[in-house]
């Protein structure tokens, strides 16, 4: 007897024709796909719904430990499964920062008790923790190393080239970077210090600060003979540069940068639109879409970075950077799907196939033997994004009031129903097993 059979759904794998079939899952793995599969402990009728491989959000900040008034592993993972996300990778700029094997293991233990979705954690790089980085090379539940090349939320910062090169040469796990030049940010800090509005945020953290940093880290990757995963690219110049550097990098964009643009976002939302790297002008957004369509972009990640409304509404520059996003990433992409800017096949590629490939996961496909993670959609349902429906402790979204066509109806995590029709069930997320 199977643990779960999902019946009568339209299965859509990457670059394959859709097929109506049943999916049987046992012990967290897809066991069989077909019809008349037999009995199961649980059944879910997906008639009229579209089933895609379980989506992966490879960049979230769930704030635990130390900043749990903003978010924790329970609330953040609840938001994830409500948004159709089966697996998340969480960032190390907690308090204290996650820069040792011990701190990673503490997070894994917490997540096993609290997480509604599957999980893995980044370890942060500092100037003197290479020994700790080497300890996590084969640790299930640690997806890689995160480096902040420019200062952002938290106190993790590393931009000395010789230390970066040492890290790149000595570890084999994925390395992800926040790419803004700390040198240029410091040179231009008077713009921030003398700011008269939040519009000065994207003037201070300008396109050149991003491009300089990205060029530098690609040179480090080249010298070390390995790839780097460059997070939340925000400029058209970076996209033009990275297009010819694909043997040395993989590239992420966020739905925020694909959806919002300056000055409009700042005019309407003020400091709620503040994030790092910043929301930029329309020409940069168009450059990101071009990079998505020409194959430069490999991954879409939410960069879910919640702060309370009270914190966000402080006058700039004292307001924190970051916005919630894990629950709205897929809905935003479905909005762009309806507008003809992206197709469902591309969403599967950027949020299932490619993350699984980059991070060596047994995920991303609805095939026998793969992990039993499924995202189930009603592509015809019309609904409205609201603040009240957000599971994040932040309790707000920059996209409230947006009309969406297409909605996550069920999230299957390792063969367990984690979310069904906006109801979230008890935590059953599992540590991500890595195949390195």
**Is 303 tagged catalytic?**
yes
Q: How many CB atoms lie within 10 A of CB 195?
A: 17
Task: Tell me the two tokens of residue 413.
Answer: 């995590």
* Stretch (H or E) spanning 21: strand 19-26
Whole-angstrom Cα distance, residue 161 to residue 229? Answer: 17
Whole-angstrom Cα distance, residue 61 to residue 178? Answer: 13
Given a contact cutoff of 8 angstroms between Cβ atoms, the answer to whether 183 and 209 are in contact is no
Whole-angstrom Cα distance, residue 338 to residue 49? Answer: 16
Is the preceding peptide bond at 79 cis, omega within 30 degrees of 0?
no
Q: How many CB atoms lie within 10 A of CB 340?
A: 7
Given a contact cutoff of 8 angstroms between Cβ atoms, the answer to whether 303 and 62 are in contact is no
DSSP of 405-435: EEEEEEEEETTEEEEETTEE-S----BPPB-
**CA-CA-CA-CA torsion sign (48, 51, 57, 61):** positive
Backbone angles phi, psi at 430, to 5 degrees: -120, 155
Exposure letters 136-148 (e unless 16+ CB within 10 A, then b): beebebbbbbbbb
Catalytic residue among 298, 303, 371, 378: 303
Beta-strand (E) ranges in 179-324?
A: 228-230, 249-253, 299-300
Given a contact cutoff of 8 angstroms between Cβ atoms, the answer to whether 29 and 412 are in contact is no
Whole-angstrom Cα distance, residue 239 to residue 289? Answer: 10
Whole-angstrom Cα distance, residue 168 to residue 220? Answer: 8
What lies within 8 Å, CB to CB, of 311 at 6+ separation is 70, 319, 320
Task: Tell me the two tokens of residue 177.
Answer: 């970077």
* CA 410 centroid distance within chain: 19
Q: Which sequence positions are flagged as catalytic?
A: 303
């Amino acid at each position: 007897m199977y643990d779960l059979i999902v019946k009568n759904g339209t299965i859509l794998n990457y670059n394959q024709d859709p097929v109506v079939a049943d999916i049987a899952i046992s012990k967290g793995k897809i066991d069989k796909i077909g019809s008349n599969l037999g009995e199961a402990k649980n059944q879910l009728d997906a008639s009229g719904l579209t089933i895609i491989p379980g989506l992966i959000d490879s960049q979230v900040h769930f704030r635990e430990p130390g900043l749990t008034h903003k978010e924790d592993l329970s609330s953040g993972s609840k938001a994830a499964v409500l948004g159709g996300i089966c697996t998340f990778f969480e960032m190390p700029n907690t308090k204290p920062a996650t820069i040792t094997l011990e701190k990673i293991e503490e997070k894994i233990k917490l997540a096993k008790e609290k997480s509604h979705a599957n999980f893995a954690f980044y370890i942060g790089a500092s100037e003197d923790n290479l020994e700790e980085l080497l300890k996590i090379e084969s640790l299930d539940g640690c997806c890689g190393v995160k480096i902040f090349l420019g200062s952002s939320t938290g106190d993790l910062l590393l931009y000395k080239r010789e230390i970066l090169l040492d890290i790149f040469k000595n570890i084999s796990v994925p390395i992800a970077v926040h790419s803004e030049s700390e040198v240029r940010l410091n040179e231009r800090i008077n713009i921030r210090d003398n700011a008269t509005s939040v519009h000065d945020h994207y003037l201070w953290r300008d396109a050149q600060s991003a491009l300089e940093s990205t060029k530098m880290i690609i040179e480090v990757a080249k010298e070390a003979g390995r790839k780097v995963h460059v997070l939340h690219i925000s400029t058209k110049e970076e996209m033009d540069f990275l297009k010819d550097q694909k043997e040395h990098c993989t590239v992420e964009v966020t739905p925020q940068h694909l959806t919002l643009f300056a000055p409009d976002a700042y005019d309407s939302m003020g400091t709620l639109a503040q994030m790092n790297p910043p929301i930029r002008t329309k020409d940069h957004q168009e450059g990101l879409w071009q990079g998505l369509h020409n194959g430069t972009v490999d991954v879409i990640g939410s960069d879910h970075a919640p702060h309370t409304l009270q914190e966000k509404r402080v006058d700039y520059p004292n307001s924190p950077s970051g916005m919630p996003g894990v629950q709205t990433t897929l809905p935003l992409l479905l909005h762009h799907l309806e507008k003809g800017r992206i197709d469902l096949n591309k969403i599967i590629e950027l949020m299932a196939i490619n993350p699984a490939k980059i991070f060596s996961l047994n995920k991303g496909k609805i095939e026998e033997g793969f992990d039993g993670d499924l995202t189930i959609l009603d592509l015809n349902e019309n609904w409205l994004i609201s603040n009240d429906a957000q599971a994040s402790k932040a309790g707000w979204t920059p996209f409230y009031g947006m009309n969406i066509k297409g909605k996550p109806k069920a999230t299957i995590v390792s063969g367990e129903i984690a979310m069904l029709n906006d109801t979230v069930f008890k935590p059953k997320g599992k540590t991500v097993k890595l195949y390195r």
